[in-house]
Amino acid sequence: MILTNTPSTDKQRTEHFHLVSIRFACLLTTKQDPMDCERVALRVAKLERQLMHSNPSQLFSSQFESQAGELGDNLAMRYNHHTGRITIWRNTPLHQSGKVFQLRANV
């Protein structure tokens, strides 16, 4: 996961800042699909603008470009270089998250 690496260049530090910001927004959202959260969407848009102005670092490209990369526990992200768009989703099955909700509700 890119967030466990210590950024060594200015470009990596900027990307790291945006990724951490997006990750925390995803963790705080109550929506099943993180992309439905306005806070997540705004932070993703900032990273997309950053990547449009400055090409992604090699580390970012190897982790997220045209493939799903880990953004955190149960979170995945993909960057499409051709469209400049980022997609984030939870990589847990819906029935598993439903079971967790049911267990909490019964407690």
Is pTM beyond 0.85? Reply is: no
Phi/psi at 54 (5° precision): -135, 120
Residue 66 pLDDT:
85
pLDDT in tens, 67-104: 888 888 889 999 999 999 999 998 876 544 444 444 44
Domain span at residue 22 reads 2-106
Identify which of 88, 71, 80, 91 has the alpha carbon closest to the alpha carbon of residue 35. Answer: 88
Whole-angstrom distance, CA of residue 53 vs CA of residue 33: 27
pLDDT in tens, 42-61: 999 999 999 999 999 999 99
Instruction: Give the chain's domain count.
Output: 1
Kindly state the tokens that stand for 56: 């992604």
